Amino acid sequence: MPLYHIVTKSRRGHAAEHTVVAQTREAAVRQLTAQDTFVVSVRRTALPTRSRRRTSPLGLLWPVPLDRRAEFLRQLHEMLSAGLPLAEVLEQLRDRTSDSRLRRLCQEGMEAARQGAKLSEILAAHPECFEPWVAASVSAAERAGALDALLPVVVEDHRQVSRERARLTYPKVYAKAIAVLAVIAATLPLAITHGLGFWLVNTLVNGLPLLAIGLLAWHGLRLVGRLAPVQSLVERITSRLPVMGKGQRVAYARRFLRAYRDMVRAGCLPQEAMEAAASVAGPARLEARGMRAAEHLRRGGDLPTALAMAGVLDRKTRGLLETAEETGELDAMFDECLEMLDDEADRQSLRRSIWSWALLLLLTAVLVGAGVIVGVVGYYNRIMEFYDSFLTE
């Protein structure tokens, strides 16, 4: 996640410097736009520490597991809420965590914190540990002074995503096992017709290079997919898919609404809560729309129009919140809408699991059919060779 050094000036001529974590330059400027200030200069900067380094591709391919990230953030929140300095908190977390990448984050972040770096800047310098939206949301919460209210939202989101992914673990394992068994079944006729030794040699000579090329291509695509423009393109495509897209939109809405509710309850202004919620929602396009919605609130606009401008919540949820605002029951409606979104997220997770099993069965049928066809063709060729040799003799 990039860091931007922004200089602003008020109408009275008072200048101020800010360090902002944002996905784009425009999003960084929108975060500091106010009625009585304007931006003088913007430049991209970096974390002021000697630990600035290029992130390892392996770290991007295999990030820190979600459950470890959630536990790390939970302990971080508890110690910060107790009033401990950031450097001391990171020092204690370094001794508690077992993950080498989180320990490196704590060690380098501890040095940076002693030089005056913020938590959002430290998280942004380690994309192999935390996704960009985490650093952006922490940055927005730091500006609003409501970090204690936002960190539990991030922790709960990590736990929910971890539980949802656990439902898809068995289909993934079974798919890999079936693929291996299908390849063996497809090449097994060679062992019967030409002998076990010929089968082993043929499998090693022809199969292993193809497997290596396939693995390199797959991980290369994953690495390219970590680039911000590619992530934005993939997110736009997947958000329009029937099953996966619905689940993504529900996840964005749930994070957005929970962050907005907790920030408002912590005493933040509506525009500050909207900025933090827009950063938590995830994609850069939603963050940019959320910043425009926050600017609408800053100018005295109403909440329903701002929610429509943010584009995260569906029409039904926005209608419920609009009615609750008119009747003075907005705070209670936040909880009801979140319960509704949680139930919808469970349904979407179940649908994804069912579709995964259906695709797994389809893959099994295709691979088994291919194995049977290869076997029949192998037996037929062997019989024809035997018949031709018999006629020759």
Q: Rounded distance, CA 31 to CA 290, Å?
A: 10
pLDDT above 90 coverage of the chain, percent: 6
Domain 237-347 has CATH 3.30.1490: no
Residue 136: pLDDT above 60? yes
The predicted model scores a pTM of 0.67
Residue 57: pLDDT above 60? no
Per-residue confidence (pLDDT) for residue 180, from 0 to 100: 67
Per-residue confidence (pLDDT) for residue 240, from 0 to 100: 74
Q: How far is CA 323 from the centre of its chain?
A: 33
Give 326-340 pLDDT, tens digit per residue: 888 888 999 999 899
Number of Cβ within a 10 Å radius of residue 21:
28
Number of Cβ within a 10 Å radius of residue 153:
24
8 A C-beta contact, residue 294 and residue 277:
no
How high is the mean pLDDT of the chain?
76
Q: Which residue has the tokens 């936002």?
A: 150
8 A C-beta contact, residue 39 and residue 29:
yes
- The 3 state secondary structure assigned to the chain is CCEEEEEEEECCCCEEEEEEECCCHHHHHHHHCECCEEEEEEEEECCCCCCCCCCCHHHHHCCCCHHHHHHHHHHHHHHHHCCCCHHHHHHHHHHHCCCHHHHHHHHHHHHHHHCCCCHHHHHHCCCCCCCHHHHHHHHHHHHHCCHHHHHHHHHHHHHHHHHHHHCCHHHHHHHHHHHHHHHHHHHHHHHHHHCHHHHHHHHHHHHHHHHHHHHHHHHHHHHHCCCHHHHHHHHHHHCCCCHHHHHHHHHHHHHHHHHHHHHHHCCCCHHHHHHHHHHHHCCHHHHHHHHHHHHHHHCCCCHHHHHHHHCCCCHHHHHHHHHHHHHCCHHHHHHHHHHHHHHHHHHHHHHHHHHHHHHHHHHHHHHHHHHHHHHHHHHHHHHHHHHHHHHHC
Contacts of 46 (CB under 8 A, 6+ apart): 3, 52, 125
Where does the pLDDT of residue 52 fall: very low under 50, low under 70, confident under 90, or very high at 90 and above?
Answer: very low
Number of Cβ within a 10 Å radius of residue 158:
23
Residue 224: pLDDT above 50? yes
For helices 330-392 and 243-265, the axis angle rounded to 10 degrees is 150
Per-residue confidence (pLDDT) for residue 213, from 0 to 100: 77
3-10 β-sheet, strand order: 15-21, 3-10, 37-45
Q: Rounded distance, CA 346 to CA 349, Å?
A: 5
Which tokens is 330 given? 């907005």
Give 112-133 pLDDT, tens digit per residue: 888 888 898 888 888 888 887 8
Gyration radius (Cα) of the chain, Å = 27
Per-residue confidence (pLDDT) for residue 90, from 0 to 100: 93
Per-residue confidence (pLDDT) for residue 93, from 0 to 100: 92
Q: Which residue has the tokens 């673990």?
A: 169
Give 163-199 pLDDT, tens digit per residue: 776 666 666 666 666 666 666 665 665 555 555 565 5
Q: Which residue has the tokens 């000036």?
A: 9
Q: Rounded distance, CA 329 to CA 326, Å?
A: 8
Give 15-43 pLDDT, tens digit per residue: 777 766 665 666 666 666 654 566 767 76
Give 87-116 pLDDT, tens digit per residue: 999 999 998 888 888 999 999 998 888 888
Per-residue confidence (pLDDT) for residue 245, from 0 to 100: 77
Q: Rounded distance, CA 140 to CA 133, Å?
A: 11
